[in-house]
Each structure stands twice: as structure tokens, then as C-alpha cells.
Chain A
Amino acid sequence: MSEWFTLFSNSLPEFWKGTLITLLLTSTGLGIGFLLGIPAAVIRIYGSKYLRWLAIGYIELFRGTPALVQLFVIYYGLPDMGITLDRIPAAIIALGLNSGAYQAEYFRSAIQAIGHDQMMAARAIGMSRIKAIWNIILPQAMRLVIPAWSNEPVSLLKTTAIAFLIAVPDLMTKAKMVATRTYDPIGAYLAVAVIYLILVVILTAILEYISRKSRIPGFDLEIEAQRST
């Protein structure tokens, strides 16, 4: 046990660097996913026929294929089409596109739970559809979605480990390096497992805090979590 602590503390600077990369991948992937997910959900519900198909196509493509395949297509496949990306941007784009598809579905169920009536009430005071979506539907959907959506940052954080396979120097890659150097794979992987777990616990606490802060009296329907990871 004390040997493990030695390994852990000796490798701490490396793990720290890896953690920063992992957090970078998670936050940017989540951000891109958020910016893609909201319009994708809105278009899937309110869009015209062709736009709707576009949104459905995107969502189902990225939910229906492994994240690793998506990453490899973007990193190894796109150069054939003349688009060459560095490792980290490639990982961020892949994770963002993937997360966007899942987030779109969370937002969609929240928007649908709010229902047609709120839209009707908004239209009845003279709001256009766009204004109603922006001022009435989305603010409610954002709050409603929090419990279900809270799975996404945690899930994405863990998914970032696939970036190891294109040699992004994230936490997982660092674990591999430490394992090779110390000839102690169990110790090294156990160490990153602990770090991932700590990150997840912190993230969950933050999400819990946000959820509490955004609560509105008498308005806390919950939406079933859909993604099981």
C-alpha cells in the first residue's frame, strides 16, 4: 500500500498535467455539445421538414455509432479529404459532436415536457414562435433538463479517455506512461481510476449546486435520464 502511495505521489506532476488535458477535453466538448445540442433539439421539434431531418440525421448518427469510431474518422479519416487536425482539436471536435447529439436528446425531452400549452400562451400575447422559444420554452427547458442532463458531464468526462488512442496526453495516456516506467500497471491504472473518481465526485457536487440554485418554487418536474453509460 505504501508503495502505491509512493508511486502516486512521485507521478503526481504527470497526473496533474493529464488531468488538465482531460478537463480541457471535457469542458470544451461539453461546451460545443451544448451549443450544438440546443439548436439540434429546437430544430428537431420546431423546424421545417428538411431541417428536421437534418437534425435527426445528426443526432442519430452520433448516438448510433461508437465515440471511438467517430474520433478515428475525424482524426485518421478527414486527412484523406484534405482536413488535417492536431490531436487535441480532433479529440475536442469528436467529443463535442458526440456530446451534442446526446445533449440534443436531453433538451428535446425537456422541451416536449413543457408542452404545447406554454407555447400557445406565449403566442396568445403576441409573441412570435422564435420569441416564444427563446423567452418561454428554453428558459423552462433549461431548468427542467438539469437532473437528466447532469449525466452528460460525468459521462463525457469518462469518455474523454478514448483520446488516449490518438495519443492525446490526457490522464489515461499519462497512466500508460507511468505504468511503463514503473512496471506497475495495476498501481498506475488504479491511481488514475482514483483521480477520475475524484473528478466525478467534484463534478457531481457542482451540478448538484447548480440544480439547487436554479430551482423555482413549485416548478420541479423531472425528466427521466435517458443515457445509461
Chain B
Amino acid sequence: MDKYILEIQNISKRYGGNVILKDISLNVREGDTVVIIGPSGTGKSTLLRCINLLTRIDTGKILLDGKDITTKNVSEDEVRQHVGMVFQNFLLFNHLTALDNVMIGLTKVRKMPANQAKEKAMQELRRVGLADRASHYPGQLSGGQQQRVAIARALAMDPRVMLFDEPTSALDPELIGEVLEVMRKLAEEGMTMLCVTHEMGFAREVADRIIFMEHGVIVEEGPPAELFYRPKFERTREFLWKITELYGKHKDEEKPGDTST
């Protein structure tokens, strides 16, 4: 039997009167790339935040490597070291160079000696193709480069799972490719990833599984081929149609759910 690295069991979250997540369950195997899609405001980002405890769930539980991380006696800081997060707006530490951004978690959280941390940080920067930008400050890097440094920063902690919260939504179109390329490489290396994204090309090529969320529930999930070409629900079909249209990728043979060709 396959072991799950991440098990989300019946979690719910509400803010005031608004239910953001309704009884969500989701299991992720080691090495899986799961892409979460859906209209904005449907709880996709909240779901990611719940996994690394930036947001606290109301009910249900989340297991990481079989261990419940949502009970009170679990240290948030400890959990977050194992769950890497990449934000839409990069959120690099502006007063630190690219290298120091990647290093600081190692030296301050992991208490790794500086020379060892530096070596590891350089390795992570090489992994995202930015070793030559190590001494640049965030303000001197393009958006795409900043996001790659942010990915390196998360990777440096050797996370069990990486969470990507719309990592390319704040980027100029010509910079999206380099970030997706890094993510694709990570997926190939066997990193377990949960990505909220609107990049359907990426989803189709890289995802092992696609989750379609709407109004705080998982409407439909399945492998890309199934979801893109044979969605079970009308709602999924509509959403995919709209989003592919938006991204200008319509060809007749790609019409979601159209099985006539």
C-alpha cells in the first residue's frame, strides 16, 4: 500500500460567517505534483496556508508523514521547516542578498554553521539557476529571479512538501516561463508539490493530479488527461473552457470535455 506524505482529513475553515473551506479531504503521495485550480476566492490559498499552519483550521486534521500537525502540542515552527511555501508576491527579505535570503533559515532556524549554510545556500541557488546573482539584493532582481530565489529559500530547509501559492500570478508574461521551468525540474526530481496556479500548460504537463475547487469544496479531481478532456462536471468544463480561452490557447481539438474529435 502506498504511503501518504500528506493527509488532509475533513478540514473546515470559516472567517466570521463565511465558510472558506468545507470538509476538504485530500491525500498526497510522496513525489506527487498536485495542481489546484479554481475561480478566485474559493479557498485554494487558504488550503495551502492551513497546511503550513499560517492559518489555523477549525475542524478536521492534517497529517504530515503520518503525524497530526494540527494538534495543540505540535510546534508550528517545527512543522513549517518541513513545509516550504512560495508566495505570489515572492516576499523575499528585502534587506538581504539572494544568498542571505536562502541562508538565513539555515543559520537562524536550523543553527547551521555559517560556512556550511553558505555552501548549502549556493547549492540551492544553483538549483534554480541563480548562482551568479548570489550577491544581488531583491530590488536588483527581476520578478522571475526573485521568485526563483524564494523557491531556493524554501528548498534550503529540505522540506517534505512544497506549497506554491500562485507563484507566477504577479509576474510579467515573459518571466513566467523561467519559474515554471524551475518548478517542472523540481517535480522531475521527485519533490512533493502542491501548486495553486492558473498555468494550465504547466498543470497539464507536470501534474500527476488536478484538483478543481469551487466555493470551498473539491468539485472534481483526477489526472490531467481526465480532467481536461473528460471532466465529469459541467462546472469543471466551464471553468477550464474559460481559463484556456483567457490564456489564448484555444484550438478546437483542445476544447475541454469535447470528445467528438
- Give me the interface of A with B, judged by CB distance under 8 Å: 117-118, 120-128, 131, 135-136, 139-140, 143, 216-219
Contacts and interface: CB of A to CB of B under 8 A. Distances in A.
Contacts, number: 75
B93 A136 contact: yes
Interface stretch (B39-47, B132-140, B251-259): B132-140
A218 B145 CA distance: 14
B188 to A, nearest CB: 24
B80 A126 contact: yes
Nearest to B136: A217
Interface string B119-138: 00000000000000000011
Contacts of A117: 87, 89, 91
Contacts of A126: 77-78, 80-81, 105, 109, 157
B213 interface: no
B139 A121 contact: no
A217 B136 CA distance: 9
A123 B80 contact: yes
Given A123-B77, A218-B137, 10 more contacts: A117-B87, A120-B91, A123-B54, A126-B80, A127-B108, A135-B108, A143-B95, A217-B137, A218-B139, A218-B140
How big is chain B's contact interface, by range? 20 to 34
Given A126-B80, A126-B105, A140 B94 contact: yes
A interface, over-half SS:
helix
A122 B93 contact: yes
A128 B79 CA distance: 12
A158 to B, nearest CB: 32
Contacts of A123: 54, 76-77, 80
B61 interface: no
Contacts of A217: 137, 139-140
20 contacts: A117-B87, A118-B91, A120-B54, A120-B87, A121-B87, A121-B92, A124-B80, A124-B84, A124-B85, A125-B81, A125-B104, A125-B109, A125-B154, A126-B77, A126-B157, A136-B95, A216-B139, A218-B137, A218-B138, A219-B139
Contacts of A127: 77, 105, 108-109
A131 B138 contact: no
A217 B157 CA distance: 27
B82 to A, nearest CB: 8
A217 B133 CA distance: 14
A173 B94 CA distance: 47
A128 B104 CA distance: 13
A124 B54 contact: yes
Closest 3 CB pairs of A and B: A218-B139, A126-B81, A121-B91
B153 interface: yes
A217 B95 CA distance: 9
Contacts of A131: 108-109
Contacts of B197: none
Contacts of B87: 117, 120-121, 124
Contacts of B95: 136, 139-140, 143, 216, 219
A218 B146 CA distance: 13
B77 A128 contact: yes
Contacts of A125: 80-81, 84, 104-105, 109, 153-154, 157
B80 A216 contact: no
